[in-house]
Amino acid sequence: MKDVLTAPFMVEMIRTATNMYAHGWDERNGGNISLMLEENEVREYLDPEKALRTIPTGFAAPELEGKYFLVTGTGKYFKNVQYAPEVNLGIVRLKDRGQQADLLWGYADGGQFTSEFPAHMMSHAARLKVNPENRVVMHCHPANLLAMTYVHDLDEKQFTRTLWQMCTECIVVFPEGVNVLPWMLCGTNEIGEATAEKMKTARLVVWSQHGIYGAGKDLDETFGLIETAEKAAEIYMKIAHLPRVNTITDDQMHLLEKRFGVKAREGWLD
């Protein structure tokens, strides 16, 4: 079999984790990524019948039974992924209605997947119902989006409209807007269920005073989605204390809709 470290999905995962750390989004062991894989691509590198061990997931996700995921490990630092991927990443396959995961590769130090694994899997299940091409769930802690949750109204419509007004490209990149959760205890099924519910209507879900969840069809798309929202939040935090002389108007955003063939979330523009 081929060396799994040469697999395109592995190379891209390592590159993405490294880039996220370089952006300052994933301090220490903050943040996590899960990438859904196709069985045929896994079989080029691993024997799915040879599980190293089985890890309980702590939840049920029958719709994901038999699915394969490349996932960052719990307590692992993104800065170390490029140096020891076999310790910091793992490939698992869900079974028993998603209540168990067979480890096929990785977590070589005896570790396991991120503590946010339930939130990831619930979000995958929710997004697949909206877009069958969804493959990625990404969680990180971008500083400006976090800062914004301390000083901005957490109403989703108002939060989104502010981001849309900061950069011309925002309404084009995330026309469905950004959903927002109040502060909740992380690493629980409760926050996973709440995030999955929000994922039904948007690919970005802000965890107030914590971070953001993004979903997409590949790692590049999901990274770019978060990157765009974070740039908008950065601009907002630089000007929030200043009088607003100019802005991107709703009429101008309607022009962007027509120009780029997108549709803003219903009722969120005048």
120 and 109 in a common domain: no
Mean pLDDT score across all residues of the chain? 96
Euclidean distance between CA atoms 33 and 16, whole angstroms: 9
CA dihedral 234, 238, 241, 242 (to 10 degrees): -120
116 is catalytic: yes
**CA terminus-to-terminus distance, the chain:** 57
> Which pLDDT score, from 0 to 100, does residue 187 have?
86
21-58: pLDDT as tens digits: 999 999 999 999 999 999 999 999 999 999 999 999 98
- CA–CA distance, 99 with 93 (Å, rounded to integer): 11
Taking only the tens place, the pLDDT of each residue in 190-210 is 999 999 999 999 999 999 999
Q: Residue 2: pLDDT above 90?
A: yes
Q: Find the CATH number of the domain harbouring 108.
A: 3.40.225.10
Which of 97, 114, 131 lies at the terminal end of a domain, its last residue? 114
Same domain, 234 and 148: yes
110 and 124 both lie in a single domain: no
User: How sure is the predictor about 99, in pLDDT bands with cuts at 50, 70 and 90?
Assistant: very high
Name the domain count of the chain: 2
Percent over 70 (pLDDT), the chain: 100
- Per-residue pLDDT at 14: 98
Residue whose structure tokens are 């896994």: 42
pLDDT value at position 1?
Answer: 81
Give the pLDDT confidence of 70-95 residue by residue, as tens digits.
999 999 999 999 999 999 999 999 99
Where a domain ends, among 114, 145, 169? 114
Do both 104 and 137 map to the same domain? no
The dihedral over CA atoms of 237, 240, 244, 249, expressed in degrees to the nearest 10, equals 60
Residue 135 shares a structural domain with residue 255: yes
Shared domain for 83 and 216, answered yes or no, is no
What's the whole-number mean pLDDT along residues 230-246?
97
Domain that holds residue 265: 116-270
In this predicted structure, what is the pLDDT of residue 242?
96
- Is residue 245 located within the same domain as residue 122? yes
Residues 123 and 239 in one domain: yes
d(CA 35, CA 219): 8
117 pairs with which residues across the strands?
none
Q: Are residues 80 and 160 in the same domain?
A: no
* One-letter amino acid of 17: A
- Which of 114, 142, 158 is the last residue in one of the domains? 114
209: closest CA among 151, 146, 158? 146
Q: Do residues 102 and 231 share a domain?
A: no
Which is the catalytic residue, given 116, 156, 221, 234?
116
Identify whether residues 168 and 219 lie together within a single domain.
yes
For residues 20 and 131, state if they share a domain: no
Distance from C-alpha of 170 to C-alpha of 160, rounded to nearest angstrom: 9
Summarised one tens digit per residue, pLDDT across range 121-152 is 999 999 999 999 999 999 999 999 999 999 99
